[in-house]
Amino acid sequence: MKKRKVELVVISDVHLGTFGSHAKELYNYLSSIKPKTLVLNGDIIDVWQFRKSYFPKAHLKVIQKIISLASKGTKVYYITGNHDEMLRKFSDMNMGNFALVDKLVLNLDDQKAWIFHGDVFDASVQHSKWIAKLGGLGYDYLILSNRFVNWCLLKIGKEPYSFSKKIKASVKKAVKHISDFEETATELAIEKKYDYVICGHIHEPKMIRKENKNGATMYLNSGDWVENLTALEYNRKRWKLFRYSESNYTEEENLFEMEDILSNQLIASIIF
């Protein structure tokens, strides 16, 4: 498969180590691109729900792929989120092409992009972490049961169905939370004179221009790799919201096999 050259790729909310993570699909996507810069915008490894008994090979291969990209020249920024907040004690760490940070400002063709996960705006995360963690566990099992239902639907020729999207759409409070999140992020970005504000956290992919009496900014959310399977791409002064489609990756099994030897060597060299 010929790799697409992209200036910047932003992904978030992969939740490796949980049942809901679409690690195999993400690996296929990362194997199809050659980014100059890769931003991992929080909740990549789900430390909250991490289980020693559940971290399959597909999840490990995503980590191996990211290391492989860094070793080949891609600048990788890992921005901490709430599900991987324990990494914040190591923030502002740099190792070659890899950097661990809490927030990031990038200059894109003379315009400033402000990038952060977004959990700082979430009161449930900041003040009642045990409730948020319990909700995360319930969400994980909801996604797992949803996968089984969709497997059954596909077998009988029906379209897949999203439990969580239906719940979010029917609960006004959830809709208001998303709206408030976007408003808070954009108002701060306009105040700080940023041209772009890029978040994750709420699993709601979006690209929209926001304005108020003080100015304007572009709000972008990279979505997630649990339900939406989306990423943000910046190339030739344009943003694109990428959505994964299985039909575009017919060689996915070969992709896994081709990277095995190189990835294992890279992991071994880092450990030793």
Q: What is the pLDDT of residues 90-124, one digit of tens each?
A: 999 999 999 999 999 999 999 999 999 998 765 44
Give every CB contact of residue 264 below 8 A, 6+ residues apart in sequence.
64
Q: 133: burial class by Cβ within 10 Å (0-12, 13-18, 19+)?
A: middle
pLDDT band with cut points at 50, 70 and 90 for residue 51: low
pLDDT of residue 151: 60
pLDDT band with cut points at 50, 70 and 90 for residue 46: confident
pLDDT > 90 in the chain, percent:
54
pLDDT at 2 over 50: yes
| Dist CA 240 CA 245 (whole Å) | 15
Domain boundaries, the chain: 4-271
Q: Helix 129-155 crosses helix 163-170 at what angle (to 10 degrees)?
A: 120
pLDDT at 87 over 60: yes
pLDDT tens digits along 124-175: 444 444 334 434 444 555 555 666 566 676 778 777 656 455 544 544 354 4
pLDDT at 208 over 90: yes
> pTM for this structure?
0.75
pLDDT of residue 156: 80
CA–centroid distance for 29 within its chain: 12
pLDDT at 37 over 80: yes
4-271 classified as CATH 3.60.21.10: yes
| Dist CA 50 CA 67 (whole Å) | 21
Q: Is 27 helix (H, G, I), strand (E, B) or coil?
A: helix
pLDDT tens digits along 236-249: 999 999 999 876 76
pLDDT of residue 1: 66
pLDDT tens digits along 180-191: 888 889 999 999
pLDDT of residue 83: 85
